[in-house]
Amino acid sequence: MKRIVSILMTVILLSGIQLSTNACTNFLITKGASTDGSTMISYAADSHVLYGELYFWPAANYEEGTMLEVYEWDTGKFLGKIPQASETYSVTGNMNEHQVSIGETTYGGLDELQSQPEAKIDYGSLMYIALQRSKSAREAIKVMTGLVEKHGYYSSGESFSIADENEVWIMEMIGKGEKEKGAVWVARMIPDGYVCGHANQARITTFPLANSKSSITSENIDQIFDKEITTVYAHDVISFAKDRGFYKGKDKNFSFSDTYAPVSFGGARFCEARVWSMFRQVKGGMDKYVDYVKGHDLDNRMPLWIKPEKKVSVSDMFSFMRDHFEGTDLDMTEDMGAGPFDRPYRWRPLTWKVDEASYCNERAVATQQTGFSFISQMRSWLPDPIGGIHWFSVDDAASTVYLPIYCGIYEVPETFAKGNGSMSEWGDNSAFWAFNQVSNLAYTRYSKIHPIISDVQQSFENSFFEYTPAIDEAARKLYNKDEEKARAFLTDYSVKTANNVVSEWQELYRFLFMKFVDGNIKKTDGREFLRNGHGVLKYPDQPGYGKNWYRKIVDETGDKFKMPEGPSH
């Protein structure tokens, strides 16, 4: 089912709509690929209508017969009721108390498979219900696939990152459409020492079939707990495609992505390019995929995973999530769309027209419409409540702070709590609005304001890295005597740290607003405004737009603004 690359409007129909609402990015790091032996996954929930907040479900026990109401995560629509589990685990954000973490990106896929009206499980509910019911990544896969088999799958095609303290998996799923309940899917464990990524384009192509000792189908799902098993797939993932006329080849040549979500110009340029942005930073030779990620050579697909030449730290993950393609052919600071202050952002829509010709903006990892993002770090050498750190932030990752939220906490910071403000309701004590104030101010004069934000951001995050070993050790000592006291200690640390950063960020906004008001730049020493010795502020700097931008104005307007020689007044 080959897409005609030259027709850009196909991009809008096949992927543009999904990108405008569900454009997310996940990076996956195995134990052997990380600097400290932890596993990590990242996730940016990039929706223009998603309010950034930190979800929380406490652990609970339920009587037999209790029903769980399911609401679609994106819209709030009631989908139905399903039986509740007898026991659920606490979940903070997208990580539970057993160090299981799940993220996702939407790829959409074939149009005829994107609707299943009677289904009760959407992709968001699938993640959060699985987190409440799973003690390992493998169990999460079993829970997720069992839920959609029994209750139907309400969403379009999804890629999921599923990880615990030992393993990292990628699972890709798409519904069976209106005629048949459920979904088809493939799940693969990332080999230790490798890294992976997905960003709104299905990436699993061929995979080992069940006649190998490392692969099973859903008919033998209970065998997923055998550590030799590294691939699991729906028993009918191939036969369903053949029955519906999506695939006609041999089973061994079957490719999930090429069948259910063929890569298009948009799939490469807007999606795969974000995976490439991380791959290129950890391994040389990735330039050979430049034409592919630009959407011009779609047959030269990147591998599902790569072995990095350098190991990845938590700080590296923060950097990956803040990437704007700097230093590459896709760098958005290098053309006039960046404006006079080198802004690496483009306001939506993603595609646009001039004289009936279609054009596109780049879609970088860091973007203005992020609701929340995280890096989940799972550490096998510590007890679960201490080992899992959910490094969490709201708003644009490039202008926010990743906060250490331990997975064993009992409550979340009030500044990030669900219900503290909304997309249409201001909250004076809301983290989302505090960080948006700063980032949106930075967008007005990015090259001048963002470096100040970055310095404060790095100062906070470096201090967290410095404190973490001491917090871990104190929590471990408490845990050995009393788990509840250890978790209470971690709750206190996580809550106070987050609330303090929000307070400091509000103060940062007030400082930046005063420093840069009216196009001036007041002289400061740190946060102190400098005075002239007589109590009056020193006269501000007025750097204007810079030589390059003034030259662009002259090139466009000619002599319109040219002044005569001699005195100007």
What is the distance of C-alpha 163 from the center of its chain?
15
Q: Which residues are registered as beta bridge partners of 29?
A: 40, 195
Query: Percentage of the chain with pLDDT > 70?
Result: 96
What is the distance of C-alpha 474 from the center of its chain?
31
Do the beta carbons of residue 256 and residue 242 sit within 8 Å? no
Residue 98 has pLDDT above 50, yes or no: yes
pLDDT band at 14 (very low <50, low <70, confident <90, very high): very low
Q: What value does the mean pLDDT take over residues 344-355? A: 94
Q: What value does the mean pLDDT take over residues 381-397? A: 98
User: For the range 339-345, what are the long-range contacts, defined as Cβ-Cβ under 8 Å and sequence gap of 24 or more?
Assistant: 339/446, 339/549, 340/545, 340/546, 340/548, 340/549, 341/444, 341/445, 341/446, 341/447, 341/448, 341/545, 342/446, 342/447, 343/443, 343/446, 343/447, 344/398, 344/446, 345/443, 345/446
Residue 18 has pLDDT above 50, yes or no: no
What's the pLDDT score for residue 212? 87
Do the beta carbons of residue 230 and residue 236 sit within 8 Å? no
Q: In the structure encoding, which two tokens stand for residue 470, read together?
A: 């001491």
For residue 163, what are the CA distances in angstroms to 41, 266, 279, 406, 428?
Answer: 7, 28, 19, 16, 35
Indicate the pairing of strand 231-233 with strand 215-217: parallel
Residue 84 has pLDDT above 60, yes or no: yes
**Nearest to 269, CA basis, from 295, 287, 298:** 295
**Residue 163 dihedral angles phi and psi, to the nearest 5°:** -145, 155
Domain spans, the chain? 8-360, 432-569
What's the pLDDT score for residue 428? 94
> pLDDT of 438-466, one tens digit each?
999 999 999 999 999 999 999 999 999 99
Report the distance separating Cα 216 and Cα 212, nearest Å: 8
> pLDDT of 30-40, one tens digit each?
999 999 999 99
Report the distance separating Cα 125 and Cα 131, nearest Å: 10
Backbone dihedral region for residue 295 (phi beyond 0: left; psi -120 to 50: alpha; all else: beta): left
Residue in the block written with tokens 């967008």: 443
Residue 17 has pLDDT above 70, yes or no: no
pLDDT band at 211 (very low <50, low <70, confident <90, very high): confident
> pLDDT of 157-194, one tens digit each?
999 999 999 999 999 999 999 989 999 999 999 999 99
> pLDDT of 513-555, one tens digit each?
999 999 999 999 999 999 999 999 999 999 999 999 999 999 9
Report the distance separating Cα 463 and Cα 469, nearest Å: 11
Q: In the structure encoding, which two tokens stand for residue 6, read together?
A: 């030259």
What is the distance of C-alpha 95 from the center of its chain?
14
Q: In the structure encoding, which two tokens stand for residue 493, read together?
A: 């640390």
Q: What value does the mean pLDDT take over residues 380-398? A: 98
> pLDDT of 462-495, one tens digit each?
999 999 999 999 999 999 999 999 999 999 999 9
- Tally of CB atoms within 10 A around 464: 18
Burial string for 42-55 (b: 16+ CB within 10 Å, else e) reads bbbbbbeebbbbbb
Q: Which residues are registered as beta bridge partners of 131?
A: none
Burial of 379 (0-12, 13-18, 19+ CB in 10 A): buried
For residue 116, what are the CA distances in angstroms to 17, 113, 181, 201?
Answer: 18, 8, 7, 21
Report the distance separating Cα 452 and Cα 456, nearest Å: 7
What is the distance of C-alpha 494 from the center of its chain?
21
Report the distance separating Cα 506 and Cα 286, nearest Å: 41
Residue in the block written with tokens 């196909």: 10
What count of residues does the chain have?
A: 569
**Residue 325 dihedral angles phi and psi, to the nearest 5°:** 65, 25
Tell me the helix, strand and coil percentages in the chain, rounded to 5.
35, 20, 40
Q: What value does the mean pLDDT take over residues 21-36? A: 90
Q: What value does the mean pLDDT take over residues 128-143? A: 98
Residue with the larger pLDDT of the pair 243 and 5: 243
Q: In the structure encoding, which two tokens stand for residue 453, read together?
A: 């934000």
Q: Which helix (H) or strand (E) element contains residue 44?
A: strand 39-46
**Residue 212 dihedral angles phi and psi, to the nearest 5°:** -100, 155
Q: In the structure encoding, which two tokens stand for residue 498, read together?
A: 């987050």
